[in-house]
Amino acid sequence: MKAVITGGTGLIGRALATHLATDGWEVVVLTRNPARATGLPAKAQIVQWDGRTARGWGQLVDGATAVVNLAGENISAGRWTDKQKQRIRESRLAAGRAIVEAIQQATIKPQLLIQSSAVGFYGDRGAEELDERSAPGRGFLPDLCQEWEQSTTAVESLGVRRAVIRTGVVLSSTGGALPRLLWPFKFFIGGPLGDGRQWFPWIHLTDEVRAIRFLMETPSGTGIFNLTAPQPVTNAELSRVIGRVLRRPSLVPVPAPVLQLAFGEMASILLDSQRVIPRRLLELGFTFRFPDITSALQDLLR
């Protein structure tokens, strides 16, 4: 069994590569900077790519069990200037084009392509319950996610099974959003963001990796899948649970205007409300190890 992972040096990619390699998979990680590819299993093959073409690596997808496309500029790395938005967009679309090129050239097509996306697809939807059949929202993130998902649709006409994963906020003690969320609580100034009523679609890193592996091994796993825990919470509830687990107060809200002043348009990541349900994953029989926020945070913060 062989997996080729683009974006394999990110939070999800490292965890997935380690999980698969530990289980005996041949793992190939594509990265633009091999010198900075840390935290990967010793057995993983690290290959440099330009993120734009199949030149120098395309043959690696030949006969692969799965290609997992996680590549893309960090969406929360800086304010969303017009220039940064273009970098975010082009990094995702270029990676998709490169993967399609590689698969088109493969003599033996890979069995599966897992195409990354995000719950940003749905936009700001209040308390509306959202599943995979829900329409896209409006704005930069929904537009980006639609283009991102469509960047690899061409592989389906080549007979390659394709699953699109719309991932929520991945919670991990080693990176991503959680350490930033915890920082105020450690100084006894934690509390909800904005009015706290916005829904927070989250998933434990362990379940993110397990869900990707589940889709790899489920032949009927085709189409769109929300990778979020089945029990989303409001931001206020998230803050209360963090405070309870850390034994810290959760009384100091951060007003929305302050976040908008600090982050500009990027504040929408923190303030948009998305009550996302992983309906199709549950219908296929996937079981979450951490379905609720309390068990997830107790595991991550113990």
User: What was the pLDDT predicted at 38?
Assistant: 86
Q: Locate the domains of the chain by residue range.
A: 2-168+204-228
Return mean pLDDT, the chain. 95
User: What was the pLDDT predicted at 137?
Assistant: 97
27 closest CA partner among 71, 65, 54: 65
Q: Strands 161-167 and 129-130, how do they pair?
A: unpaired
User: What was the pLDDT predicted at 72?
Assistant: 94
DSSP 135: P
Which residues contact residue 81 at a Cβ distance below 8 angstroms, ignoring those fewer than 6 apart? none
Paired tokens of 184 = 């105020």
Q: Decide: residue 113, CB within 10 A, 0-12 exposed, 13-18 middle, 19+ buried.
A: buried
* DSSP-based three-state secondary structure for 297: helix
270 closest CA partner among 165, 124, 71: 124
Task: Tell me the C-alpha to C-alpha distance, in Å, between residue 292 and each of 78, 97, 169, 214, 246.
Answer: 30, 37, 14, 20, 17
User: What was the pLDDT predicted at 107?
Assistant: 96
Under 8 Å between Cβ of 173 and 205: no
Question: In this structure, what is the dihedral angle of CA atoms 174, 175, 181, 187, given to the nearest 10 degrees?
Answer: 50
- Reported as a single tens digit per residue, the pLDDT across 19-41 is 999 999 999 999 988 887 888 99
Under 8 Å between Cβ of 31 and 37: yes
DSSP 138: S
User: What was the pLDDT predicted at 261?
Assistant: 82
- Most distant CA atoms of the chain, gap in Å: 60
173 closest CA partner among 63, 54, 302: 302
User: What was the pLDDT predicted at 61?
Assistant: 97
User: 2-168+204-228: CATH homologous superfamily?
Assistant: NAD(P)-binding Rossmann-like Domain (3.40.50.720)
Spell out, as residue ranges, where the chain has pLDDT lower than 70: none
Q: State the Cα–Cα distance between residues 234 and 189, nearest whole angstrom.
A: 19
User: What was the pLDDT predicted at 286?
Assistant: 98
Task: Give the burial string for 242-255 (b: 16+ CB within 10 Å, else e).
Answer: bbebbebebeebbe
Q: State the Cα–Cα distance between residues 301 and 182, nearest whole angstrom.
A: 10
DSSP 156: G
Paired tokens of 146 = 């639609």
